[in-house]
Amino acid sequence: MDRRSLLKASAAGSAALAAPFVVTRAAHAQNYKSEYRVSTVVGPAFPWGKGAEIWIDLVRQRTQGRINMKLYPNVSLINGDQTREFSAIRQGVIDMAVGSTINWSPQVKELNLFSLPFLAQDHAGLDALTQGEVGKRTLQIIEKAGVVPLAWGENGFRELTNSKREIRTPADMKGLKFRVVGSPIFNDTFTALGANPTQMSWADAQPALASGAVEGQENPMHIFTAAKLHTMSQKFVTRWGYVADPLVYVVNRDIWNSWSPADRDIVRQAAVDAGKQEIAIARKGLSGNDLGMIKEVEALGVKVTTLTDAEKDQFKKAIKPVYDKWAKQIGSDLVKRAEAAVAARKKA
Ligand code: X2X
């Protein structure tokens, strides 16, 4: 072989070898962003933020860094206004998120399903909802609303806390000022219970609790401890288990479509894996024989009251009109299926 044909041959060889890499790298350069912004309300000190962090790490490892996600806690991409999160994901202001159905309910009314008081009842009931047909339908509704859902996570059962007194009956709530999340069903629920609710973001809730502008709030126990709500005069906790707050791992549709099918599979599977781990973290100390979280809260000088079923019934009775009103708005069919799924659950 003379020098020219040798050069040609080796050029062809290296071009053939390099071609797939050139194509993928060019595709990445064109379609893949150097960073994908992941929104959450709270950071990695909380199970919720930790669950997002696990997802981010799994995707980075499994894509060898092709998909580089970064956590933006405190819904900072939308200045803390958590009820705008869903619209922002849809519009591409946010690329990806691990979000609460509560915060997305103003845009997707069916998601109020999970805020129907005393629907899920316990962890098995929540699993019966999210892991069954109702969960599938809910994810389809999110998809139809323009965002790609991948997996479930969990914030947790939202318990009642306040600075004034032990709450065992609706009468104990009378006139107390509660911060509630910015989804109108919560306003209706607390009003029906005789309390005085004010809607505000989580960012505004903490200074309002600290100053005494509001006297109480509702959030899962892990939020209570990680945000140190006992330092904001929250001396009474009532475990009433009225709302189980699931999370959903999602991606903006255009971002999703910009990835190769193989990368989409990786991101989806990583969300499923991260979600499972996150749910275990969210339930730690709060399920089965492990009630360590309750002891932890009591050790902070907080009185923790766990309602009996008979006591819960009084609350259920008081909020029945709210339940019925919202069941209609959510869609009676979906609500009936949800009630049936919970009734048929395998109790732990
Ligand atoms: O705002 C809240 O209470 C929180 C942090 O639980 C949610 O985002 C639903």
Beta strand 216-219 pairing with 196-199: unpaired
State how far the Cα of 219 lies from the Cα of 15, in Å rounded to an integer. 59
Instruction: Tell me, using a 6 A CB cutoff, whether residue 101 lines ligand 1.
Output: no
Residue 100 CA, closest ligand 1 atom number: 9
Total of domains in the chain: 2
Length of the chain, in residues: 348
Does residue 9 form part of some domain?
Answer: no
Q: Verify that 72 and 138 share a domain, yes or no.
A: yes
Dist CA 246 CA 235 (whole Å): 26
Nearest-10 Cα torsion for 92, 98, 102, 107: 20
Å from CA of 143 to ligand 1 middle: 22
Centroid of ligand 1 to alpha carbon of 42 (angstroms): 8
My answer on whether 91 and 130 are in the same domain is yes
Q: Is 102 in the pocket of ligand 1 (CB under 6 A)?
A: yes
**Encoding tokens for residue 70?**
């970064």
Alpha carbon nearest to ligand 1 atom 6, residue: 219
Mind giving me the DSSP string for 277-301? HHHHHHHTTSBTTB-HHHHHHHTTT
Going from the Cα of 334 to the center of ligand 1, the distance in angstroms, rounded, reads 24
Q: What's the pLDDT at 288?
A: 87
Q: What is the DSSP letter of 193?
A: T
pTM: 0.92
Residue 10 placed within a domain: no
Would you say residue 17 lies in a domain? no
Domain for residue 337, yes or no? Answer: yes
Ligand 1 atom nearest 41 alpha carbon: 8
Query: Do 252 and 141 share a domain, yes or no?
Result: yes
Whether 210 and 171 map to the same domain: the answer is yes
pLDDT value for 30: 62
Phi, psi (degrees; rounded to nearest 5) at 328: -65, -45
Q: Is the CB of 100 under 6 A from ligand 1?
A: yes
Q: What's at 248, amino acid-wise?
A: V
- Say if residue 202 is in the same domain as residue 212: yes
Q: Which helix (H) or strand (E) holds 181?
A: none
Burial 261-279 (b: 16+ CB within 10 A, else e): eebbebbbebbeebbebbb
Counting from 1 in the atom list of ligand 1, the atom nearest the Cα of 245 is 9
- Residues 338, 218 share a domain: yes
Distance 276 CA to ligand 1 centre (A): 20
Ligand 1, atom 1: closest residue by C-alpha: 202
Q: How far is CA 293 from CA 84, 132, 297, in A?
A: 32, 28, 6
Whether residue 103 has its Cβ less than 6 Å from ligand 1: yes
- 219 Cβ inside 6 Å of ligand 1: yes
Q: Please name the residue that has the structure tokens 């929540």.
A: 126
Task: Give the mutation target among 40, 48, 103 for probing the ligand 1 site: most ligand atoms within 8 A of CB.
Answer: 103
Instruction: Give the range of the structural domain holding residue 70, as residue numbers without chain letter.
Output: 33-108+117-156+245-283
247 lines ligand 1 (CB under 6 A): no
188: left (phi over 0), alpha (psi -120 to 50) or beta: alpha
CATH of the domain at 47: 3.40.190.170
Same domain, 172 and 232: yes
Are residue 331 and residue 317 in the same domain, yes or no? yes
Q: Which of 283, 309, 331 is the last residue of a domain?
A: 283
Residues 239 and 272 in one domain: no
pLDDT tens track for 157-186:
999 999 999 999 999 999 999 999 999 999
Instruction: List the pLDDT tens digit at each of the 348 positions of the chain.
Output: 444 544 444 444 444 444 444 445 445 546 899 999 999 999 999 999 999 999 999 999 999 999 999 999 999 999 999 999 999 999 999 999 999 999 999 999 999 999 999 999 999 999 999 999 999 999 999 999 999 999 999 999 999 999 999 999 999 999 999 999 999 999 999 999 999 999 999 999 999 999 999 999 999 999 999 999 999 999 999 999 999 999 999 999 999 999 999 999 999 999 999 999 999 999 999 998 899 999 999 999 999 999 999 999 999 999 999 999 999 999 999 999 999 999 999 876
Judgement on whether residues 136 and 254 belong to the same structural domain of the protein: yes
Please give the pLDDT value at position 316. 98
On whether residue 25 sits in a domain, the answer given is no
Do 188 and 57 share a structural domain?
A: no
Q: Kindly state whether residue 18 falls inside one of the protein's structural domains.
A: no
Domain assignment present for 77: yes
Residue at 28 is within a domain: no
Counts for the chain of helices (H) and strands (E), in that order? 14, 9
Assess whether 92 and 63 both reside in one domain.
yes
